[in-house]
Structure 1
Amino acid sequence: MGDLLEEDLEFRGGTLQLSAENVQIGNVDRSDNTIRLPQINPSVLSGADSLSSSGSFADARTDGQPNNTTNTEEGAHTVYPRYDVPFDKENIKDFFTFRKGVVENAIQDCITALLFPEDGEYLGSWLLTEITLWDNEKERIVLLTSRLVMTIKYDFIAMKQLDFKKTYLDDLDTIVIGELVYPPSSLVPERNLRGVRLMWNKGEALPLKTVWNPFSQDVPFLTFASHPIYWHKDGGVEERATFDMEIFAQKLQRAIECMPASACCIHHSPIVIQSYLGITSLLHNKTSMGFFKVRGKFSF
């Protein structure tokens, strides 16, 4: 098992090198196209190894070709993560947010009602999937300003705000961008999905009272992935950008880099979701309980 884990980390290191231009990479073995990483301190709640980057952000995806494998001019072997398309075309139409104008109106409502001049310069808005500590997927509007990230729970049926949370960029100490993975001993199927995690726990492990309480409000991180609609929108890149985690992560990184004396570190590494059995979360996510949609004769 140790050998398999080591090989897996080497593979991820080869993938992640492209997302961190300023990282000094060790030896490159051209025979098996792997890149061996130097010793790097682990990041709590992220992957086993992580690559810091204060430079430009690299989107690992290829538009419409998630399994694509390409060669750079230097001959390095680049392997992009695989993406499993959530839901099918007919099922996605049951989502209220799939209806024309719903998301745009909801976002404008939130901007008007919740953002104030003291919140900083408005930088962008998205409809993303929040993944909770207990691996439950939730539909959330996300607003980004030069000072904060606002996460909003919104009722897309009644078209009203239900709850919101402000996370100030000054409080962030780590941002992790990478593939969502589970611990080696987990029985939960792989997600084959990328995400971004915003952390303000200063590298400390979560207390047990938080880990074992599914209703805890003291979780010191936020994890986002692209909304399922991203894979089903027929429009161009601009229309799909509203549901795209990668675009959000890019703008978030730029906002952090523009902050004077920011102590936030940006890593490109796997994001570990601490779920081992996950029966409850699998049922929750399979039935999309965290999303507003038509369910037979009912809508909730």
Structure 2
Amino acid sequence: MSDLLDDDLEFRGGTLQLSADHVPSESVENQQGNVSENPARRKPPSNVNPSVLSGADSLTSSTSSFAAFCFPDARNEEQMNATAATPTESVKTVYPRYDVPFNKENIKDFFTFRKGVVETAIQECITALLFPEDGEYLGSWLLTEITLWDNEKERIVLLTSRLVMTIKYDFIAMKQLDFKKTYLDDLDTIVIGELVYPQSSLVPERNLRGVRLMWNKGEPVPLKTVWNPFSQDVPFLTFASHPIFWHKEGGLEEKVTYDMETFAQKLQRAIECMPSSACCIHHSPIVIQSYVGLTSLLHNKTSMGFFKVRGKFSF
């Protein structure tokens, strides 16, 4: 009997040996449905959003195990593909800015680029200008206001549960010059999107995103306001990110004070928390009614709306 058992074990071992040595890899692939290409080597199309493929994690794991068994050299390539795909899937949405304002050398001339200046100014404005009746404090920013005449102005912006406060601040003398309160109850439209010009405009594209707060009830701006560059009756406010946003070192926490997107998100939440508000929020291009814009081009190119060192002078 023991001889028979030994013969049987010997025979089984031979069967396993034949299965490993003589079955070609092509037959393994044919058993899987005539696979002509290793799924683990197949890369996703470049024009497909990575989030669309995020639901295929289990399938990827199965094909990876199969490829590692049938094609040992495929394991390294699979790991390389996974490593290359991971950063793309983890990156958050980044809104484009093709024309980065100024450069690292010029940005250092801004007084607001100096350490502690913006924080001190914002804290002073919060202490001096906000009162309990203004609502709960939600955040503060240093943004670029774009006027009706397409001029860029440096402004401190405070947001509460009841209002948006726009402050003109002298960052050289470190004092408040002027401020304006816009109550959220008065807003009827908020537009978030790319800043664009009319098709017949000669002004070069900005390639910049912004947010516009409107309270004109859909009515056109009166001509007396449109043709008066000093008018204070403009029924909207337009903000973009401050130039320092693109040059500030550090992560998002260091840049958030200069980021229009963060301001727009918190403003939207504040509006949504007001049950009595009838304000509509749109994500669409923001049209700046400027057709020639020679004055605004000169104003913005020389950054006249910002406090900075200009040669031997500072203003």
Structure 2 counterpart of 1:105, one-letter code: T
The superposition leaves residues 176-210 of structure 1 with CA deviations (integer Å, 9 ceiling, x where unpaired) of 00000000000000000000000000001011000
1:73 Cα deviation (Å)?
Answer: 3.7
> Secondary structure of 1:280's partner?
helix
The superposition leaves residues 93-129 of structure 1 with CA deviations (integer Å, 9 ceiling, x where unpaired) of 0000000000000000000000000000000000000
- Distance verdict in 2 for CA 1:226–1:79, change over 3 Å: closer
1:72 Cα deviation (Å)?
Answer: 4.6
Cα distance between partner residues in 1 of 2:183 and 2:50: 38
Q: Give the structure 2 partner of residue 173 of structure 1.
A: 188
Cα distance between partner residues in 2 of 1:287 and 1:245: 22
Check if 1:104 corresponds to 2:119. Answer: yes
5+ unaligned residues in a row in structure 2: which ranges? 1-46, 54-92
Cα distance between partner residues in 1 of 2:293 and 2:229: 13
**Contact kept? 1:70, 1:79, Cα under 8 Å:** no
Q: Which of 212, 220, 225 is residue 197 of structure 1 equivalent to?
A: 212
Check if 1:249 corresponds to 2:259. Answer: no
> Secondary structure of 1:206's partner?
coil
**Contact kept? 2:98, 2:207, Cα under 8 Å:** yes
- Distance verdict in 2 for CA 1:229–1:81, change over 3 Å: closer
Q: Give the structure 2 partner of residue 141 of structure 1.
A: 156
Normalising by structure 1, report the TM-score: 0.75
> Secondary structure of 1:129's partner?
strand
Cα distance between partner residues in 1 of 2:51 and 2:253: 29
Cα distance between partner residues in 1 of 2:304 and 2:49: 41
Q: Give the structure 2 partner of residue 262 of structure 1.
A: 277
Check if 1:71 corresponds to 2:49. Answer: yes
Cα distance between partner residues in 2 of 1:265 and 1:81: 25
- Structure number with bigger Rg: 2
Cα distance between partner residues in 1 of 2:102 and 2:136: 36
Check if 1:288 corresponds to 2:303. Answer: yes
RMSD: 1.7
What fraction of aligned residue pairs are identical, expressed as a percent?
A: 90
Structure 1 counterpart of 2:204, one-letter code: P
Q: Give the structure 1 partner of residue 197 of structure 2.
A: 182
**Contact kept? 1:179, 1:192, Cα under 8 Å:** yes
Matched length: 231
The superposition leaves residues 57-102 of structure 1 with CA deviations (integer Å, 9 ceiling, x where unpaired) of xxxxxxxxxxxx8715448xx9964431100000000000000000
Cα distance between partner residues in 1 of 2:95 and 2:153: 26
> Secondary structure of 2:173's partner?
coil
**Contact kept? 2:145, 2:155, Cα under 8 Å:** yes
* Greater strand share, structure number: 1
Normalising by structure 2, report the TM-score: 0.71
Cα distance between partner residues in 1 of 2:170 and 2:215: 28
Structure 2 counterpart of 1:71, one-letter code: N
Aligned residue runs from structure 1 range 157-168, under 5 A: 157-168=172-183
Q: Give the structure 1 partner of residue 37 of structure 2.
A: none
- Distance verdict in 2 for CA 1:171–1:299, change over 3 Å: same
> Secondary structure of 1:223's partner?
strand
Structure with more contact order per residue of length (Cα contacts < 8 Å, sep ≥ 6): 1
Check if 1:209 corresponds to 2:224. Answer: yes
**Contact kept? 2:97, 2:209, Cα under 8 Å:** no
5+ unaligned residues in a row in structure 1: which ranges? 1-68
* Greater helix share, structure number: 2
1:261 Cα deviation (Å)?
Answer: 2.1
Q: Give the structure 2 partner of residue 152 of structure 1.
A: 167
> Secondary structure of 1:216's partner?
coil
**Contact kept? 2:241, 2:259, Cα under 8 Å:** yes
Cα distance between partner residues in 1 of 2:270 and 2:98: 27
1:235 Cα deviation (Å)?
Answer: 1.6
Structure 1 counterpart of 2:207, one-letter code: N
Q: Give the structure 2 partner of residue 272 of structure 1.
A: 287
